[in-house]
Structures are given as structure tokens and as C-alpha cells.
Amino acid sequence: MVIMILLLLLILVTTYFLFHHKKYNSQLPPGSLGPPVIGQSLSLLKALKADRIEKWFQERITTHGPAWKASLFGYPTVVLHGPSANKFIYTCDGNLLSNTQPPSLSRIFGSKNILELSGNDHKRVRAAIVSFPKVEVLKQYVAKVDEEIRHHLQTHWHGKHEVQVQPLMKTLTFNMICSLLFGIERGPQREKMLPLFQYMMGGVLSIPINLPFTKYNRAIMARKKLVPMILHLIHEKRDALKEQTKQGDPHKDLITSLLSIRDDDGSKMMSEEEIIDNAITVMIAGHDTTSVLLTFFVRLLANNKSIYSTIFREHQEISSNKASEEALTWEDLTKMKYTWRVATEILRINPPASLTFRRTNQDIEYGGFIIPKGWQVLIAMSMTHMDDSLFQNPTMFDPTRFEKHVPSPPPFSYVPFGGGPRMCPGNEFVKTETLVLIHRLVTTFTWELLKKDESFKRVPMPEFDQGLLVKVKPLSETTLSCEA
Ligand code: HEM
């Protein structure tokens, strides 16, 4: 019954758009909207699952050029390609191109989440969010990140012969966001929250049917349980702030930061509801993306001896100047330049968030075409990453392309973190977590893939079939040859 109603709604929406765009027929980009309702969604989903989206997009770019129409996920869509298309999507005024999420997602994230906001509201909430995960603040937290990572390795890697990397990277990133961004220390509170977040994340990527036992329903129920927990946290942090107004540190964690931030006229910048919705959004936005990068990094080091050796030397050099249990510092991270270039190249070849959608709020002219009001606009960021006019030998893994002396790629061609006013505010946080983790991994363990060709599906985030199974050994038991 529910499926029938959903199908009917889709047919109505599609019919509306079919008639509505008739007046623009000659000005629409080339391409076809495909079979009613389904359009090309199944074919794109299939390509995502098989990790063949570049081929899928390239075939259509070759046929139609850099702008073409299709019907995807229930909406007529214009798909764009190229740095200027990226710039258009990332910098276009929110009144023309909105980032509105489907209502099913807003029920999980909450209606006041940053992704939904535009104009001054977006600026205000974003200013509050970026006040925490920025370099000046993160510098003070390197030892804390290091402690969290060493505890993770001690608990989940030491003494094990085999580990599943991807689920562990998810646990690590959840703990890292809890510790640094929410100020929730290890213990029962975190443990209660973990399954609730997992249900919510499962719901974000599910079919939005709210019936008992569906993934989507579990996500809605999880949000209901999580909201009072976050509210309690907000009240605790507000009381703590009041008690220590003089010596208190407003940058203690993201939630304290959001509570402390004031407008020019001294009034609060964020309501409790906004803090709750954005705490949830930050967790969902940061969790799978970061854990995908870390998982690909572990896989690369197992597969590429030459890169592994160079990284190993970089980190040995840093440890050789420190006492054995000494925590890492910001200065140490600044010496991990090669490691970050490797991460940058991983993000080029395998951007965790592969597609960016927007919706038009009015008819828009782009590249001589009309994109009618209510249509979707889509870019796949890996398409500019794999464009040989922008990156030489794009399929070759080559971190040297990000060396200082090599000219930077043209603006808006390298976009794993998006760009413009909505560019990911978590990128420095990701960098800190990645550098510290790789340092601790390569100076403590060696590992090899148990299944050399373990594949992954994009659903839409890359998910390894067996979670990326690796065999681990403590470094002390391994004779290493560091010859590149
Ligand atoms: C490798 C890890 C990550 C990647 C690849 C990534 C990627 C992105 C991308 C592409 C966007 C822009 C989306 C758009 O324009 O539609 C974005 C936005 C966002 N990201 Fe990240 N992200 C990562 C980690 C994080 C982390 C750790 C956090 C939390 C600290 C975070 C929080 C956010 C937020 C709140 C937004 C929305 C910003 C806005 O609308 O103004 N992300 N991210």
C-alpha cells in the first residue's frame, strides 16, 4: 500500500515536471528524462554499487557534452561537469540554488540543521560551527586526539591477529567527534549514544518508509531517544560555563563553543534546538566521510610498498626525536607533509562524498540552457578529479602532484571538501585525526590485506565487502626493509 502511494506521488511529481518544462523544451540541455518515474536512477545506483560512476558520467558527457538532463531519484535533473560547473553549484546564491534536503532526511537531521539553512541563517549557524574545528583551536587538542587514538589501538588492534578496518575507523571517528566536538569522555554516556547514531546513519541511506522495523523508522526512533541526551549535555555545559565564566574556556568543545558564541549585540547566536540539530548533523557529516578516508589510507599502505616506505621514514624521523610515550604536538603534525599529500591524493581518486545535489528555486540560465524551477542540479566531484585536462595521468596515484613547487590545480577542479560558502568546515579536524592515526599505526604495527582484491560498493559511501580485513602484527615482531 505504502509503495503504491509512493509510486503514485512520484508519477504525479514527474507528470507535473513533464508539463511544466514543456514551455522550455528547446532551451533545455540535451539528454532524456528516461522512463517515467524511474528515469536513470537504477542505472546510476548500479554504477555506484559497482564503483563505476566515472564511466557512467563519462559516457553521457561524451554523448551530450558538459550539461545534460536526466531524471534521477524522482526529479528531473540537470547534470553538469567541469570546474565552472563546480563553481556554479558551490557559490550560487542560496535563493537561486538551494541545498534543501528531502523531508525524509530533515526528520533525522532536524529542521534547523545547517544543510537546510540559507542566507543569513546559514551564515550565522556556520560562523558558530566553524568557531571550533579551526586550526587555532585544534592546535591545543593534538595531545587529546593522540590519547584517543592510542586508546583505540590499545583496545581494538593490540593482541589481535586480524581486524576489520572500516568498522573500526567508524568507531574511532565516532569517539573522536564525541570527545573533541561534544566533550563526552569515554564511558556509559558515549556507549549509549553509539548505537543510536548508528541507527540514524543507517536511516540516512535507507528507503524512507516509516513503518515499524524499517531502517528509516529505527533512525526516527533513535533521534527521539538522542535528543533528550543532547539536551541534557547542553544543560550540563551551560551550568559549567556559568560557574566558570571568568576562567572557563569557551573552546572546550564544539557544544560549549556554540553555547558561548554571541552576536555583535551580545545576544545568543544559537537556540537549543539549533544546537541539537547541528550536533547531529556534524556527527552524520563527519562520521562516514572521515572513516572512508582512513580506511582507504590503510588499504593504500598495504598495497603500495614505495609510499609505505616514504611515510614510514617520515614518521620514524618524528618519533626518533621524542620519548617513547610522549604525546604528539602540533609542530609534529606540521612535519607530516608527505602523509597529508598522500591523503590529498586519496581524496582525489576516492572522494568519500561523490555526488553533490542542489535544487533550483527559480528558472535559471546556465551555459545557454534553462534549468527550470524545482529541478535538481547534480555534479559528481570525481569527474573533475579524473579529467586529464586538469590532472595529468589522472588514474595514476601520484601524491607528488600536490607538492609545493607543482602548480595547483585550477580553482574548483579539486573539490573533495566542496567549495565556497558551504565548503566542509571539518577539513582541519579530518587532517588532524588522519595524521595522528597514520603516525600511531605505522610506528606500532605492520599489516597486510587478507583479501588482496577486497572490493567495495558505493551505497553511496564506499563500503568494503568484508569491512577491509587485514592481518596485523606489532612492528617489534617485523623485520622492516625501508628501501623505497
Ligand atoms: C574526509 C572527510 C570529509 C569529507 C570528504 C567531507 C566532505 C564534505 C563536502 C563535500 C561538503 C559540502 C557539501 C555540499 O556543498 O553540499 C561538506 C559539508 C559539511 N561537512 Fe564535511 N566532510 C568531511 C568531514 C567532516 C567532518 C569531520 C565534519 C565535522 C567536524 C564535517 C562537517 C560538515 C558540515 C557541518 C558541512 C555542511 C557545511 C555547510 O553547509 O555550510 N565534515 N563536507
Report pLDDT digits (tens) over 31-57. Answer: 998 876 678 888 998 998 898 999 999
Pairing of strands 355-360, 376-380: antiparallel
Q: Which has the higher per-residue pLDDT, 207 or 215?
A: 215
Determine the pLDDT at residue 1.
53
CA 72–ligand 1 middle distance (angstroms): 23
Say if ligand 1 is within 6 A of residue 440 CB.
no
| Bridge partner residues of 457 (DSSP) | 463
Whole-number mean pLDDT of the chain?
A: 90
Q: Does residue 446 register a pLDDT over 70?
A: yes
Determine the pLDDT at residue 450.
97
Q: Does residue 170 register a pLDDT over 80?
A: yes
pLDDT mean over 337-351? 97
Determine the pLDDT at residue 304.
97
Q: Which grid coordinates are listed for 112?
A: 534547523
142 — pLDDT class (breaks 50, 70, 90)? very high
**Helix count and strand count (H, E) for the chain:** 18, 12
C-alpha distances in angstroms, 44 versus 47, 65, 92, 381? 5, 18, 26, 15
With CA atoms as reference, report the closest residue to 35 among 65, 66, 10, 53.
10
Q: Does residue 422 register a pLDDT over 80?
A: yes
Say if ligand 1 is within 6 A of residue 352 CB.
yes
Domains 25-107+354-415 and 111-348 share a fold: no
Residue 313, class by beta-carbon neighbours within 10 Å (0-12 exposed, 13-18 middle, 19+ buried)? middle
Determine the pLDDT at residue 2.
54
Q: Does residue 246 register a pLDDT over 60?
A: no
| CB 330 within 8 Å of CB 142 | yes
Give 270's DSSP letter. Answer: S
Which of the residue ranges 35-49, 57-71, 85-99, 452-466 would you say has the lowest mean pLDDT? 35-49
Give the strand order in the sheet containing 469-474: 162-164, 469-474, 445-449
Pocket test for ligand 1, best of 124, 344, 378, 424 (most atoms within 8 A of CB): 424
Residue 420, class by beta-carbon neighbours within 10 Å (0-12 exposed, 13-18 middle, 19+ buried)? middle
Q: What is the CATH number of domain 25-107+354-415?
A: 3.30.43.20
State the Cα–Cα distance between residues 460 and 352, nearest whole angstrom. 9
With CA atoms as reference, report the closest residue to 259 among 287, 285, 279.
279
**Which residue ranges make up each domain of the chain?**
25-107+354-415, 111-348
Q: Does residue 361 register a pLDDT over 90?
A: yes
ipTM over 0.95? The verdict is: yes
H/E element, 377? strand 376-380
Residue 424 among known ligand-binding residues: yes
Give the SS3 label for residue 408: coil
Determine the pLDDT at residue 116.
87
With CA atoms as reference, report the closest residue to 241 among 210, 274, 268.
268
Polymer length in residues for the chain = 484
| CB 154 within 8 Å of CB 268 | no
Say if ligand 1 is within 6 A of residue 289 CB.
yes
Q: Does residue 481 register a pLDDT over 50?
A: no
State the Cα–Cα distance between residues 118 and 131, nearest whole angstrom. 19
Q: Which has the higher per-residue pLDDT, 6 or 170?
A: 170
State the Cα–Cα distance between residues 59 and 84, nearest whole angstrom. 20
Domain 111-348, what architecture?
Orthogonal Bundle (1.10)
Determine the pLDDT at residue 482.
45
327 — pLDDT class (breaks 50, 70, 90)? very high
pLDDT mean over 100-107? 83
Q: Which has the higher per-residue pLDDT, 264 or 462?
A: 462
Percent of the chain whose predicted confidence (pLDDT) is above 70:
92
Q: Does residue 484 register a pLDDT over 50?
A: no
* Omega before 410 within 30 of 0, i.e. cis: no
> Does the pTM of the predicted model rise above 0.90?
yes
Q: Name which residue sits closest to atom 16 of ligand 1, judged by CA.
A: 356
With CA atoms as reference, report the closest residue to 270 among 119, 95, 127.
127
Count CA atoms within 13 Å of residue 5 on its CB side.
4
**Ligand 1 atom nearest to CA at 254:** 30
Q: Which residue has the cell 598522500?
A: 342
CA 64–ligand 1 middle distance (angstroms): 31
Say if ligand 1 is within 6 A of residue 302 CB.
no
Determine the pLDDT at residue 100.
78
Q: Which grid coordinates are listed for 303?
A: 598495497
pLDDT mean over 127-150? 91
With CA atoms as reference, report the closest residue to 439 among 281, 314, 351.
314
Q: Does residue 324 register a pLDDT over 70?
A: yes
